[in-house]
Structure 1
Amino acid sequence: MDVFAGIDLGTTHLKVVLTDGQEQVLWQKKWPVQSLQPHQGWQEQDPLAIRAIILLALRELAAVIPPRASRCIAGFSTAMHALLLLDKNDQPLTSIITWADTRSQPQAASLRHTSQGRHIYLLTGTPIHPMSPLCKIAWMQENRPEVMEQKPRVVSLKDWIWKSLTGYYEIDHSVASATGLFDIHRRQWCTEALTLVGITESQLSRPVSVFHHLPAGNHYADLKHWKVPLVWVIGGSDGYLATLGSGATKPGDMALTIGTSGAVRVLRSQPVPDEQGVLFHYAAAEGQYLSGGAINNGGNLLAWFADIFLQGQQTTAATLSYWLDQAALVAPGADGLRCIPYVYGERAPIWDASAKASFTGIHAGHTKAHFLRAILEAVASSLYQITQAIEAGGEKIERVYASGGFTESALWLDIVSRQLNKKLIVSDEADASALGAVKIAVRSLKV
């Protein structure tokens, strides 16, 4: 029998799931991934360290393949919006600059509200924001000209790993779409975007289908550890594959997640123009597009609340659980206390990295529990605004598949359900992106 692996190259963890291709998980494991903050607003990762973790994970995966397996088909998922620049010998010139990096805020702000920025957004589906590699490259041109003069290869983490495993620089359509450099309508690199940031198509990887697969060959040095034939499937972005993994795959389905950050996503047969620029629209599998919005401020606001409001208390899961219980005793609306939750800037619905948070309507009767409830309601309101934008494009949301750490809080589930006026279907799949990579791996054999 064939076995199928999903390998999720996440920002905080590398996760691997091994399955029988149906419902049975045979093995799973995750490894922490470290991020670095060398300057305010910078979020980087060491590409060599991450590659070492990936190779270790693949060796551990090889060791647990069942004896009865005839071959292993392994699909990949990766975090969106990461940028890595390489020299002519395929060695890193920079660290991996992650989606959370905001150093290119000035470049994004100067472009976002121009006619050129609007045109690029409509072509690429990627909002003009510091998360976008488009803006990151613009920053590099202005601040690291000595690097850009070398005409570096411009890749995501997965492109680079794929090259080391297969010998080819290739990028799937869903990850390419999240760069701000890819024309989602023609499914090719966007000439206008490349010209804007001063790079050429020769510096980029070849775009391919999410189902693109290759047999493992001599480029993969550890092939000797495998007792069965191995097939690599390029897979897709974590956002797209998490949507598949959550089960939100039919018209009327929406995936909603709140972890450290949060997002709502739907799959469509075509991108729907978004005149307000609230939504992203990314190419996925052929004839399929991922639309939605991601927020910076999600579960991380619980940690922020603890730091600000619970000083002197030891912040544990039990402590937060206690305060969530207290917030549940506060009536909806938090007695007039309102929160704008942009502690960490914001992506959707406003796409402003410089946005700030605030509380209004404060009076002497408000307690810590009121402030916490106001925060939870504010996050739910952001997701509601994105959902409204999705439905404005003609998509009637009938089923909401919820996942992420927030599902452990009955209060937060209730607040989101009330705000959206929809029942939430809670998914117990903690590794939705890796499972989505498995689904792509299974389907790749039929394409």
Structure 2
Amino acid sequence: MTEISYRLPQQRVLQTELPGPRSQELAARRKAAVAAGVGSTAPVYAADADGGVIVDVDGNSLIDLAAGIAVTNVGASHPKVVAAIRDQAERFTHTCFMVTPYEGYVEVCERLAAVTPGDHEKRSVLFNSGAEAVENAIKVARLATGRPAVVAFDHAYHGRTNLTMALTAKAMPYKANFGPFAPEVYRMPMSYPFRDGDRDGAAAAREAISRIEKQIGATSVAAIIIEPIQGEGGFIVPAPGFLPALADWARSNGVVFIADEVQTGFARTGAWFACDHEGVVPDIVTMAKGIAGGMPLSAITGRADLMDAVHAGGLGGTYGGNPVACAAALAAIDAIDELDLNARARRIEELATARFRELAQRIPAIGDIRGRGAMLALEFVKPGTSEPDAALTSAVAARCLAQGVITLTCGTFGNVIRLLPPLVIGEDLLDEALTVLCTAIGDLAG
């Protein structure tokens, strides 16, 4: 694989306890200025970031196993992305594509047609956030089919706007007291191998399809939307065959199959998109996060007949496809190709899962090890049961942070540690982070 040079030293350095005095000062300022509803995983404030490290305002260098929630796949300051942003910003930062269009928007759409699953004719639209992409994918599906109903799944996460909250499964903190939500959204059972017993992917799909047909009726369904690997729900990888069976049923019944690849896209799972692992070709793909090296950009790419069914002016937004974000996206896509980040994601999976499997042999609290590429998870349970252990999960994450390693938790039951390192993280640094994590698990659950 191509060697990567870094601007910052790739090392873990703790000069203060966390949070340090400067971070504490900023936390006090934040309390007086920022709404309490905005949460943060770590109490440290970033000053710089590169490769696999984040340096805080007190000079501590922390190992990053979060990548801004799967955003900085190419790193938080990749030189080609930085150069592209600088060059575009020096020319113009905004005209609005709906007023005075520009080449960068068109070129991003061309690149998305090339890298998304399938060789059919495609069209794309650019937006700002993952939730905005999901909302517009549903709009396209409803208009193109003339049908109202949308099917989502248990443990799903699709965003925090009104419609995407309706699609999202987890109440707290995402939905509690924010209703009423958008209508005509129906939730079906997800394939969850760790908790499904002997039920395989085909059986799980049959159950979901049977419920759709009985409770909604195929002719009323505009779209099925699903994360090929669920994110906030717990990094749940459905059993083989589940996704293809749903996609086949959708195709046979005129239902738009939407793959929400907001978190899984752009080499995160060791392929350009998670659907690629089973050869599933969605009708529409929603994207964001890793698309633009940290700049706000999202997209939907879909079958040309679906996308072109929408009347002029029915899709868009003032900032959608901002020229600076488009320049960053083109540079990030180039970097994924040049550095073969799909291979790097697969290598991260190889290194991490080997450590986790060894650890699980002596730590019965590790109920499941799952994920693909650099999207990996450990599910914690009370030993000898499948009862979730959210307290242990939180304690492990806190211990890692105190030792200078940033991790994230997730899962419907709050009992999953998820790993989302930048794909450009060095192997030595990754190994050090895994040692900290495994030691924390051993100390707290051994």
The structure carrying a bigger strand percent of its residues is 1
Report the TM-score when normalising by structure 1. Answer: 0.31
Report the TM-score when normalising by structure 2. Answer: 0.31
Q: Relative contact order (C-alpha < 8 Å, sep 6+): which is higher?
A: 2
